[in-house]
Structure formats: C-alpha cells, structure tokens
Amino acid sequence: MSLDLHTLKNELNPEQFRAVTTINGAILIIAGAGSGKTRVITYRIANMLDSGIPQSQILALTFTNKAAKEMSERIKTLTQKKLQNLTVSTFHAFGVRILQQDIDKLGWRTNFSIYDETDRSALIKETGRELKFTPDALDVYKIGNLFSNIKTGRKKWDGANDMYKELYEGYQSGLKLFNAVDFDDLIMLPIKLFRDFPDVLARYKERYKYIMVDEFQDTSHQQYEMMRLLADKNVAVVGDDDQSIYSWRGADYKNIVQFEKDFPDVKEIRLEQNYRSTETILAAANGVISHNTNRKDKKLWSGNGSGKPIEIFMPENENAEADFIAESIQGIAMEEERKYADFGILIRANTQSRAIEEALLQANIPYTMSGGMSFFERKEIKDVISYLRVIANHDDDVNLLRIINTPRRGIGRTSIQLLNDEANALSSSLWTAIESLLKREDSPASAALKEDLENFVAIIENHRQKLLSGRGLAAKVRALIEEVNYKDYLITEYAKSEKAVRFKLMNIESLLNSMDMWENNPDNTNTSLFAYLNRITLLSRDDMDEENDKGKVNLMTIHASKGLEFPVVFIAGAEEGLIPHARSMEENGGNIEEERRLFYVAITRARDKLLISACQKRRKMQMTVECQPSPFLDEIPENLVEYHERPKEVEADKAHDILSNMLKNFGKNA
C-alpha cells in the first residue's frame, strides 16, 4: 500500500503533515500531551519506506517494549509490509543487540547474562560479605543507586561515599567474572565500544542512515550520547519538555537544548492540537504548567468542546477519600454507562494504595494495580528462570546460588562456604569451583557433598544439551521442572496453604504458555534460549499481566500512567508533601518544576472527566497529621473548578427543624 500525499493531508493536521513529510536533516518535534505523537511517528516511518528508504536504514528508539510493539504493529498495518529489517527497539534492547555482536572486544563472552535489580543487590551483598562489610553498612538499595549514579556519571566519588569505592570495584569485577552486565551497562558499554573501536561505530553509522527517538525528554545523558554518536545528518527526535518526570533515573529534558546545539540546522515543529481531552481539562493543565519557567512556550488547544468542570473534593481522611472514589466509580459507571476499564486512579506514592484497594474490594470493583510485584519477580518464576540462566551461562554465580539448594539437595551454608573459598582461591566462578572440588584428589568436600554436587551438575549438563538445540522450549523446561521435583518442593514449602501452592503452579503454567507463544510467533527470528532470557530481562514490569487486566479499574502511580489515557481520572492525595512530594523536594534541591510537570502529566491523562481529592488529615507513621491542599490546585483557573464541601454534621435540634420543613414542603407539593 502506498501513502499518497492527498490522503496524508486529509488525515493529518498541517503541523503533523509537516512532521511526517520532512524526512531529511535534523528535526525536533515538540509533541504536546494527546497531540497524536505515535500517529506522527508511525506515519513518518511509513512515508519513509514509501519514499524508497530501505527498512534496514531506519532505527526508531523508544522507552518501553509496549511502545515499540505498538509502533511496529501500526507501521505494519499502514504499509501492509513485512518488517523484518526495520529496527524499532527500546534503548536497552538496542544496547543488547550491539553487545551481542561485539562485547567480546571488551573482554566478556557473547552469551552474557543481564542482571536485574534483584541480581544486582545479591551481588552487592555477596561482595560486601567478602570485604567484611557489617550488615548495618550494607544498605543494598542505597548502594545500588550510588553505583548506578557513579557508572553513568551522575555522581563522582567524594569524601562522603569513598568508603564504597572498594565495594564498587569488587562489584564490577564480579560482573565480569560471572560474565554478566547490569542495566546501566546496556547503554554504557555500547558507548565504550563506539569510542574505543571506531570500526564498530562506522559499521552502525553505515547501516542506520535515519534515526528517530520517541519520548526524547526522557533520555538520560548516556542515551543521548549513544544516539549522538550514531546519528549522522538525518535524525528526528520527538518529545515534550512539559512531560519530563524521570530525573530520578537520569532523564534530562535539557537534552532538547543540547540537541539544538549539536545539530544547529535543526527544524522545529510544534504539535499543539490535543485530540484527547476537553477544553476545560486542557485549560487546567495549561494553567498549572505555565508557572514553570524552564520550558518551551506552547499552548495546547482542543477541538473536543468545553466538557465538565474539574471536581475537587476535600475528604476528612484517606478512608473517606477511598470511599468517595469507589462510590463515584459506581455512580459514574451507572449514570454514564461506562466500563470499569474507563477509570484511572492516579497516586503519587505507593503507600496511598492500601486504603483505595480496600474500598474497591469492599465495593466489589475489579481493579489492577500497576507497579505491584511483577510476574518475573515472583519466587517460583525466578527459580525456574535461574535454572535456565545457569544452563545458559554456568558462570552466573547469582543464579547458581539461588538454585543450588532449591529444591533442597543437601548443599547447605557450610557447603556453599566451601565453594566460595575454592572460587576465591582460584579467582573463578562457583561452577569452576564445583568442577575443581569434584576433580581434586585432596578435595576438602565430603563424599556426600560430592555426590550432591555431581547430581546437580548432571541435571544442568543434561538439560543444557536439550535446551541449547532445536525447538520446543516450553516442553523442555517442563521436563526440567519435573526432574528437579519442583512441584513436591512447593507442596512441602507451603504445606499450610494449598491455595498458595495452586497459585504458584498456575504461575509456572502461565510462564510455560508464554514461552510457547513466544517461540511460535512468526515475527520471532531468533528462538534460542539466550534470546528468550535477554527478552524477559528487558520486559517491562507488567507486560505479562496485561491481557488479564482488561475490564478493570486502573490504579497506578502518576509515573506509571505516562503515555496512557482514561475517560475518567481521579488524582488522589493532591496535598502538600505528596504533590509536590516532600522527599523529591529534598533530594532534588527543591525541584518544584519537576513535581509540577508530574501534576501536569496526571491532569492530561483525563479525556472527559477529572476528579481531584485532597485529604484534610492523613495517617503517617502511626500518627494522624493535618494536611494542606497542594499549592498546584491554586494554579488551576478558578472558573474551571467545582469545589465540593464535605457535608457538615448537623446538630440534633437543627436536624429536627430541617425535617419539619421538609415534611411541610412535601405536603405543599403533594
């Protein structure tokens, strides 16, 4: 199918048309909330393909798997073409692709493991133990963040954090020893490759002549650098500085300014027509965001009619707030014939969810909580995946430690200490240490331990043969689960709860089904075990559960709501200390502008109706504290807002008078 210009003109507004048809040179597309950004990107790529640009020369980078998938599907539908050679990818997945080709130049083997946060924490803990850190000094979460900031250049070593320098070096050499990389490495190591090996960079520059970056305001300095090194002349970035809300993970909206410096011939196109929200909701969002000074001036406008006023409620406390939300959902669903999936409840902090979840359960309203425990973080899933990771990469110590005695096979703490001592003596991985203890004539391992280790090695090696060749991944993994008697292990571990065992076995079934679907997907050209393991590490948190969540109210943090929209939105907890958040104000040296951008993102998720609540009191740390409404509420123009006062408690004698009057009036009207 070809995209003729006449059709394009009819389907796009003038600015969208300009963005779609400007193919060459550097382009900055400022895309306001709800301005049809995804549509512009997909039409633009479709138009490029139609203009005769080969698929293999186009690279589109985005932030979530969901966005990459949606983009690919839309382009397929538009062009009616197979897209085997088009690269639409997240930054991290593209980093993996580069490393799979060339990581050996940096001293890793190509079948490397990718460590998630849990694995990172385990390695920090292990390294800390070796270096005799006290448990008090090992705040693993804090240290993990520090290491991430050091690695990405957001922080430098200074007097305050120098005590962790040795631990960092131990962590880094641990990663290399276990042939593993962490998430930061997926961006940092490709940059290192590009800088240290110009031939590698030249190869990629030669291939990708046209680059597009979605959600550009969310790029970190490192992601920007990776793109800058790759980009030649034809690079288009799409973003909105008003929606930059991820500074805590390194995002910097100032990359927009940097882009204009690095590409001085840049053409700027602004998409300001909003197709999502009513005029009232947009005017509220514009009113709030106009108080920020570090931004490109833009005025979103809508052709969707004025719509209903924004409703603001001041409930007594979080329980009253939760009841109000649940009752409102039931009322609006009936009155306006809406489905539960039409409602979004946005919160600033996870701690707010408990009262709301209880009220929804009480009212029998089905809901899904985004950002809860991800499917792949559940114990039984991590156990199965750990077996697969050790099968794929024997030197993956973190995962080996997870499964060496799961299910229990007599390899307890003392045995693991012996393995660690052997690994330290050989400066090797634990797997090499096992092999050494089994071969050595003077081995300190007992006969019983040797037998247990031999059985463990046999399981791994036997299944390695099967899993690394041919198809039928799910059936092979099922055979592995059966051989290690994992079901019996769960029954023993959760003897008191048959329900927990059933739930966990269902999760394993879901995992096997998803493997089957993945392997049999015609678009999947690489069905190796390595490809599967890298894919699931990169999966966004809720990808697995998405299908089951249709038809439910959506409860999520504001951060998790970015990119989504709902006909009816509740913003809960619009109080000082939550929006703007007390912690973020302290950490960012008073970054009120980012907090305001966060509130702006929350407002612009709403299509038809927006309800905001701010409690008068809230429980914090076993205390009830008085709350002040968020200062951002005052920035919404008054004429757009309807305040709902809480009903005043009426004294007994007044109540009698009111009732008498009502009865009199009733008599008159009868």
Condensed to tens digits (0 to 9), the pLDDT of residues 464-497 reads 989 988 888 999 999 999 999 999 999 988 887 8
What 3-state DSSP class applies to 214? coil
CA 446 to chain centroid, in Å, comes to 46
Q: Which of 288, 251, 257 is nearest to 33 (CA)?
A: 288
Sheet-wide strand order for 310-313: 367-369, 553-557, 343-347, 566-571, 606-613, 310-313, 641-644
Whether the per-residue pLDDT at 180 is higher than 70: the answer is yes
Provide mean pLDDT across the span 505-532. Answer: 84
Please say if 482 is a catalytic residue: no
| 402-421: pLDDT as tens digits | 899 888 888 877 888 898 88
Per the residue annotation, which of 219, 243, 406, 604 is the catalytic one? 243
Task: Report the alpha-carbon angle 470-516-65, nearest 5.
Answer: 110
Q: Are the CB atoms for 165 and 263 separated by under 8 Å?
A: no
Per the residue annotation, which of 9, 21, 22, 38 is the catalytic one? 38
Please say if 38 is a catalytic residue: yes
Per the residue annotation, which of 15, 102, 184, 215 is the catalytic one? 215
| 297-345: pLDDT as tens digits | 888 888 888 999 999 999 999 999 999 999 999 999 999 999 999 999 9
pLDDT of residue 658: 53
- Please list, in sequence order, all residues whose beta carbon lies within 8 angstroms of the beta carbon of residue 35, skipping any fewer than 6 positions away: 271, 272, 273, 274, 275, 300
What's the CA gap between 367 and 344, in Å, rounded? 10
Per the residue annotation, which of 119, 182, 214, 321 is the catalytic one? 214
| 243-272: pLDDT as tens digits | 888 877 777 778 888 999 999 999 999 999
Q: Is the backbone of residue 620 left (phi > 0), alpha (psi -120 to 50) or beta?
A: beta
Per the residue annotation, which of 504, 605, 607, 609 is the catalytic one? 605
Please say if 185 is a catalytic residue: no
pTM score of the predicted model: 0.77
Q: What single DSSP character describes residue 316?
A: S
Residue showing tokens 């983009």: 71
Residue showing tokens 């699931």: 536
Please say if 587 is a catalytic residue: no
What's the CA gap between 343 and 606, in Å, rounded? 9
CA 187 to chain centroid, in Å, comes to 16
Per the residue annotation, which of 16, 37, 543, 607 is the catalytic one? 37
Sign of CA dihedral 488, 389, 180, 95: negative
Whether the per-residue pLDDT at 547 is higher than 60: the answer is no
Please say if 338 is a catalytic residue: no
Provide mean pLDDT across the span 96-113. Answer: 89
Q: What would the two tokens of residue 642 be?
A: 């309807």
Please say if 330 is a catalytic residue: no
